[in-house]
Structure 1
Amino acid sequence: MGITSPEKMAEEENRDSIHLTRSLTEKIIAQDAKGETDQNAVLELKKTMSRNRQNAQVERLQHLNDVMPIETVKKIHIAQETGASNWLTCLPIRAKGFSLNKQESVDAVALRYGWPVEGLPKTCVCGDPNSVDHTMTCKKGGFVCIRHDEVRDLTASMLREVCCDVTTEPTLLPLNGEHVQYRTANTTNEARVDVSARGFWTRGQRAFMDIRIFDPMAACYQRIPPEAAHQKNEREKIRSYGDRIRNVDHGSFTPLVFTTSGGMGPKAKCFYSRLADVMAEKKHQPRSHVVAWMRCRLSFSLLRSALLCLRGTRYSAPTTIDLDGLNYQATVVESGILV
């Protein structure tokens, strides 16, 4: 979580403080009232100290990776993905949609590091032995199927700020003898994707997006790194809908793949980067603040989706945020979100 121990850092911090204030200390001892400290030298010294500290942290992490269990190492790797830690770095302001209750906070930290979660029944309603990994993949009760709903609704609300004809759960055009490339393609007449918007990638063209949230600790992903798992899920989505949407609906298709911990696949990163560019331009807001706000909101949405699978009916509905007129820069500053 990036929380350092003051006891372990005290000696190093004292040494750095002495080095930074040495020139000023010398002038005080010499009673030099007219002398000035070289601010460029102080700034360069700060950069060197920061670089040395980062190198030391990398070395400590490498040492921990060598001695920790493989599952814990993978959990840490997953927690380092872009967007996986944003919910930890902002102030819990309910009005901004960045709050968790006590139970959710404890569960979120336990999920992040693979710690035992207290209060779970020993047997799942499906009859199998219950565990954290089982709750993330069990289809009984429908929680896995609906856990992407908040991400879908948030994405649609952001698209409505910059695009027209935004629809959730749009039905694709039925097939009338058209040939699709892959056998795993969805050929049913009632086939739907999660979100569509007109004019996102190309002016006038309809863009279709489908969301998948997967558990990177599931048995089928144990032997592959998170990056390969993202690409695998993206290929499956493209084979299901890509060819049909391109040739029948004459639109574009983008799979939005996430992990339950908050990581994003390559195409999802590209999509939300483009969305941040357009939102920043239209709202006349700094892009860095729009990106920071977007990642934080997505992080909370993905965390709530995981908590939905974990606790079921104990899941609390998120605060609805009206994006119309939202000042992203002020929200990022007030919430303490890292840019």
Structure 2
Amino acid sequence: MAIENPVQVAEERYNTSQRATSILTESISTGARFNIHEYTNHLVQEQTTEKKARDLRNKENSEEIMTTLNPEMRRTLQRITNGNASQWLTIIPLTADNFDLTPTQFRDALSMRYSKPLLGLRGICDGCGMEMDLNHALNCKTGGLVKQGHDQIHDIIAGLARQVYRGVMVEPIMREGSATEPGLLADIRIHGVWDRERASFYDVRVINADAASYSTRDWSSTANEAAKAKHRKYDTAAEDLHGSFTPLITSCDGILHTEFQTFSKKLVTSLAEKWDKPRSSIAGFVRAKIQLAIIRAVSLRLRGCRKMTRSAIDDTNSQIIREEAALCLEDGAPIPTQDY
């Protein structure tokens, strides 16, 4: 997780601090004239030098550790390291920003990140009855958990886009169904992303990059093939609507395909301009939002119920009326019967 031991790095940090503040220290102790510009330049230079040395040392340590891992774990970690999918580990888990995960979601995300066994995973799939393991949980579509997880992701993206763009629509119908041809739905439609007066359509796909069918391929080729398949499916319908199409391909680890990254950067730029905030902070905010949405979508596949349940009461509307009467509701508004 790249969390350094403060005991091991304390001396190095102290020495760096001494070197970086040497001009200020000398000015205070001798009364020499203090030049703020000289001090600032020296401070930045020392911090930059120390960071480069630290990054090089961490890279060497990482490469050394990689050689000791089994091929499956090494493949997963290399994909995550190269894919910049660690933003969610650096944020403050504020409930107000919906940045908090449940303990189970957090543990599952870490277990998948480091190819560790998932704790408490049921032995049999409650949807199809097959043996349950990580790959089956991620791939089984019984019960609609895959669709529900996709909905969480496109809802986050649509919500962010709605802050800066117009004409945002979830699940737009790109082609009506007919007797000879099925209908076609995208996940999101947005006006003004690539062209001010042109609509663009987007469809999300979350790929289990560690599935057996992808075990001999790297993430780049897997994502590119998935993006091409999306383009073949949606491009013609988008052109018929005088719009464009962009696939939003991501792995279960939160590693975005290049087209998803390009869209994300465009969204970040627009949000930073509207909110008058530094682009770097907005980029971190958006990446964290998307990564956490992916983690929750994956957690739903792992821990969600695929078995459908039904109510013993056939008339749901009558039950709702009885519940409202019991709560003294009138047109959906609670009316207290006494003062408290």
TM-score interval, normalised by the smaller of the two chains: 0.7 to 0.9
TM-score, normalised relative to structure 1: 0.79
Determine if the alignment matches structure 1 residue 76 to structure 2 residue 86: no
What code does the residue aligned with 2:152 have? E
Say which one has the larger Rg: 2
Q: Residue 220 of structure 2: which of 227, 232, 245 is its match? A: 227
1:262–1:302 Cα contact (<8 Å) kept: yes
- Quote the Cα distance in structure 2 between the aligned partners of 1:109 and 1:173: 40
2:105–2:295 Cα contact (<8 Å) kept: no
Counterpart secondary structure, 2:250: strand
- Quote the Cα distance in structure 1 between the aligned partners of 2:51 and 2:235: 46
Determine if the alignment matches structure 1 residue 198 to structure 2 residue 191: yes
Q: CA deviation at 1:50?
A: 1.8
- Quote the Cα distance in structure 1 between the aligned partners of 2:166 and 2:187: 16
What code does the residue aligned with 2:98 have? G
CA offsets 1:284-306 (integer angstroms, 9 cap, x no match):
33333322221111111111001
Q: Which residue of 2 aligns with 1:179?
A: none
Q: Which residue of 2 aligns with 1:59?
A: 60
Q: Residue 212 of structure 1: which of 200, 205, 220 is its match? A: 205
Aligned 1:107-122 pairs, distance under 5 A: 107-122=108-123
Counterpart secondary structure, 1:106: helix
Q: Which residue of 2 aligns with 1:134?
A: 136
CA offsets 1:1-50 (integer angstroms, 9 cap, x no match):
1111234435544654665577888899xx74547697344543332222
- Quote the Cα distance in structure 2 between the aligned partners of 1:194 and 1:57: 40
1:172–1:189 Cα contact (<8 Å) kept: no
1:170–1:195 Cα contact (<8 Å) kept: yes
CA offsets 1:229-286 (integer angstroms, 9 cap, x no match):
221111111111113322x222111101111111111111111211222233334333
1:234–1:257 Cα contact (<8 Å) kept: yes
1:83–1:299 Cα contact (<8 Å) kept: no
- Quote the Cα distance in structure 2 between the aligned partners of 1:206 and 1:49: 47
Identity %: 29
Q: Residue 267 of structure 1: which of 243, 259, 266 is its match? A: 259
Aligned 1:1-339 pairs, distance under 5 A: 1-10=1-10, 12-13=12-13, 16=16, 32-34=30-32, 39=39, 40-82=41-83, 84-125=85-126, 126-174=128-176, 188-246=181-239, 248-313=240-305
Moved more, 19-28 or 42-51: 19-28
CA offsets 1:135-169 (integer angstroms, 9 cap, x no match):
11122222123311111111222222233322211
Q: CA deviation at 1:51?
A: 1.3
- Quote the Cα distance in structure 1 between the aligned partners of 2:221 and 2:121: 31
- Quote the Cα distance in structure 2 between the aligned partners of 1:288 and 1:58: 23
* C-alpha spacing 1:92/1:71, structure 2 compared with 1 (3 Å): same
- Quote the Cα distance in structure 1 between the aligned partners of 2:267 and 2:12: 43
What code does the residue aligned with 1:141 have? G
Q: CA deviation at 1:83?
A: 5.2
TM-score, normalised relative to structure 2: 0.79
Counterpart secondary structure, 2:64: helix
Gap regions ≥5 residues in structure 1: 177-186, 315-339
Q: CA deviation at 1:225?
A: 1.6
Gap regions ≥5 residues in structure 2: 307-340
- Quote the Cα distance in structure 1 between the aligned partners of 2:43 and 2:193: 47
2:177–2:184 Cα contact (<8 Å) kept: no
- Quote the Cα distance in structure 2 between the aligned partners of 1:225 and 1:162: 35
- Quote the Cα distance in structure 2 between the aligned partners of 1:50 and 1:280: 27
Q: Which residue of 1 aligns with 2:320?
A: none
Q: CA deviation at 1:212?
A: 0.6
Q: CA deviation at 1:63?
A: 1.1
- Quote the Cα distance in structure 2 between the aligned partners of 1:41 and 1:86: 30
What code does the residue aligned with 1:309 have? R
